[in-house]
Amino acid sequence: MDLVTGFAAGLLIAMVTSPVGVSGAVFLLPVQLSVLGVPNPAVTPTNLLFNVVSGPGALVRYRSAGQLTGPLARLLIAGTVPGVVLGAIIRVFAIPGPQVFRLVAAAVLLPLGLWLAARAARPGAADRPPLARRTVLGLSVVVGTVGGVYGIGGGSLLGPILAGRGTPMTVIAPAALASTFVTSIVGAGTFGVLAYFSDGDIAPLWLLGVCCGLGGLAGGYAGARLQPYLPERALRLLLGVLACGLGCLYVVQAVV
């Protein structure tokens, strides 16, 4: 039953999130913790495993549509890959407890959600000048580190920032998902290595992660195919509200 639930959750989440370059792992996390009962810190590499399995679904569609081109994906990958290795080490040795982990999750979700909602509420607002390549690379390292701690790869967190600086969503979505895919492979492998040097539930739950990922594989392809027909403003507002709600929930769980 847990495997069926995981597949369905991955399918629905990826279908909604892939059009804006978000893998869906950020929203799969509470399902793993609260519904599927994945222990800490195994939830993080299991989330990365979800990204690895589900990522090709949307990427294949974006590539066939000619959107997976340009230097942005390579720039994001160059920063997030070393960052996710550092984040995995921090996650295992410095933030193993569930209470601190929930606060870290909230610290990621709330700003992300507020940014998405603000941009959706003010679609006519003028975009700021595009970020310099060096700035994007630096942000990618920071985001990759956070992604290694949180289990979301990291690429998707830069999407709202780049969108607010004038980069079209048709460029951001495939680049962010490509970065998340590559970074998640590196992150999952790092957790696998760390599992040999640490005690506790560090290795991913392979079967569950694959089942969730297969759902995400189908959902990601469907979401990428639907991207040209979906209203970007409504979708970003929905993602922002969901992220803020989940962030608030984690704060409550951490302090109660």
Please give the Cα distance from 81 to 184 (Å, whole number). Answer: 8
pLDDT top residue among 94 and 211: 211
- The average pLDDT across 32-56 equals 83
Q: What is the 3-state secondary structure (H, E, C) of 132-186?
A: CHHHHHHHHHHHHHHHHHHCCCCHHHHHHHHHHCCCCHHHHHHHHHHHHHHHHHH
Please give the Cα distance from 210 to 218 (Å, whole number). Answer: 12
- Whether the Cβ atoms of residue 140 and residue 158 lie closer than 8 Å to each other: yes
pLDDT top residue among 184 and 152: 184
pLDDT top residue among 52 and 253: 52
pLDDT value at residue 104: 75
- pLDDT tens per residue across span 103-160: 877 887 788 788 778 877 776 655 567 778 889 899 899 888 877 776 666 666 777 7
Count other Cβ atoms within 10 Å, centred on residue 135: 12
Decide: helix, strand or coil at residue 19: helix
Q: What type of residue is 204?
A: P
pLDDT value at residue 240: 78
Percent of all residues in the chain with a pLDDT value above 90, rounded to a whole number: 16
Count other Cβ atoms within 10 Å, centred on residue 203: 18
- Whether the Cβ atoms of residue 62 and residue 174 lie closer than 8 Å to each other: yes
pLDDT value at residue 164: 67
C-alpha Rg value of the chain to the nearest Å: 17
- The average pLDDT across 72-80 equals 89
- Structural domain total, the chain: 1
Residue 78 — φ and ψ, nearest 5°?
Answer: -60, -30
- pLDDT tens per residue across span 205-233: 889 999 999 999 999 999 999 888 877 77
- Going 97 to 9 to 187 to 87, the CA torsion angle's sign is negative
pLDDT value at 201 more than 70: no
Residue 155 — φ and ψ, nearest 5°?
Answer: -60, -35
Give the structural domain span for 121.
2-255
**Range picked from 59-68, 97-106, 189-198 for highest mean pLDDT:** 59-68
- Going 82 to 177 to 110 to 168, the CA torsion angle's sign is positive
- Whether the Cβ atoms of residue 115 and residue 243 lie closer than 8 Å to each other: no
- pLDDT tens per residue across span 3-42: 899 999 999 999 988 888 878 887 787 788 788 888 777 7
Structure tokens at 241: 């509200």
pLDDT value at residue 12: 93
Q: What is the 3-state secondary structure (H, E, C) of 37-82?
A: CCCCCCHHHHHHHHHHHHHHHHHHHHHHCCCCCCCHHHHHHHHHHH
Across the chain, mean pLDDT equals 81
